[in-house]
Structure 1
């Protein structure tokens, strides 16, 4: 939904795990350490909690075409704002495939359209309003759309949730159904609800004076049979992807983007997947961007870079690996080496050819680092490992 006064709505991602077993060391949450779970070292999980997690996983079900769209969203920041041309193409291709399939017929009349939807992705045409540009592309904020059509006062509301502590901004529109796919709306009120104030603060936009500028429509081009995935297109040409239920992988990525609850998200994700067959994991080739680690501080940035605590890891089939870190003003740090499998899910990594690079020139740096790398989880899109100094890393394949 995109108008000059509205907030774009629709949002984020899921995992298709080739599972491995890890659990959190619950004895010290502040240390943020992860332990590899084995028959000798496994933190027990209560039956009731395990059953609840299993039930939650069973409730979240997507078809193969739906999973392709969810996979395409992984690694896209700002709900599409920072997407590369290739990422945008992958998402659009997956969207068109779903729009060509049979979802819920006449979605505007279905009870599955009702409720709160979280925005995972949106295209951002130049007609997007200032409030859309300000809030929708910020990962720290959660963005939702509420749809309630089967009431005496049908409404569509766009909500930006700043945090549980701060509060939210809610922009509401009176709504009506035009046909089986299209919802008509007209924005008529908006307000900030701050947790620290006993009253709402009006959002200063004179909707009544805007006339047609406060009006718009929203087409539901795909609604999944489960009612958990929706694709919509707005009157300004904007595409939205929204979800009701978010898979553990998506929750993990969202927690990392926000910067809170990462440990809990990893724990929940692993707990949901720990009963799956213990396949031997392989270090997959490709370019992997580090997005989170359980510890970021060492004595110097060059040690961080050399030990894989920064930047990208490039893995090649021939047993070669490179750590690449952008520094400043076009300078990059590069260190290459080799990896050799030493166990079912472990590798010995030796990095010993380092240089600071500027354009075609390189300045050699004498460094050598040896790391024991454990693959804790990988599915080709996300990788969780334990490496230098027992630090846990989350990488996304770019």
Structure 2
């Protein structure tokens, strides 16, 4: 049985956040024994505790302006949903069946003709999937000529609410445009039998993000049919980390995701000895130690910074390139060699200011060799910690 303590009055952001995490954990405990993602399995007491937890989280809201946050991006797994009489046919058919896994993809930064998307996915074990896709529209991603859903709709397809969002940048309007079964036993997809082009307003809906946790792992949403959805992040921490960095999340949020990537493991087992470290890497985020040198602090303030390992730098060599202005850069060359599975020794032996090809040596010397510890490495992402304590996240450049 779940137990939800009353949230105390907390005086700091950290304590408040810890209190919300406790409420979130209590909510997840409440629904741990649920069947059919809310179809049955909750006692009256658990239902009351669940509603209290939802109310506390929604009152806080979590991440401000969630539809503008990269933390919303990615794949989410549905754990629980209320089942109002207005539920859509697909909800009544598939969501309440535990044998199927249900996911939602939110791709608000999608590029190309498809634009931003919201996709609902039903996974039939190893037999295949049903994917129902929709165009997504938000306050910061409008579509010219798009009119949000207005009417309550046909009762057969589920009665829709028409009230406006409670705040800006919390609602995702969507319009379904395609759906199909993709079964592993068949070499082709089977269209889902819904004529989207003929249904007009019935293909439209909306989703309010009523709570998004600061770590981007948990959210509450309410749909236009009156349904509450409880979802948890299903994509790997590496994806969440990159999404947070690209969305401009603060250093505390990014640092937590760095810790999550390191804790989960994966990637190269012996990164310092792996050929995967070679290539050109672009610095995406860093937290600099107080005693970091001037070049490191410049890189940490948003200047374009790259590191070339091996390749053009030469075997057993690396080069850091800091681009200050067009034609103006700083280049530092160093010898490097593995020291065990996760540490690389680095000895800087030259630093130059380069102006349109003209090199001027800079009087920056390293008295003793330094090192970097590899926290994570795969083909496209690396996380390292320097001997001064600075942490760096790089992505591979093509």
TM-score bracket, normalised by the shorter chain, equals: 0.3 to 0.5
Q: TM-score, normalised by structure 1?
A: 0.45
Higher relative contact order, chain-length normalized (CA < 8 Å, sep 6+): 1
Q: TM-score, normalised by structure 2?
A: 0.45
Task: Specify the structure having the higher radius of gyration (Cα).
Answer: 2
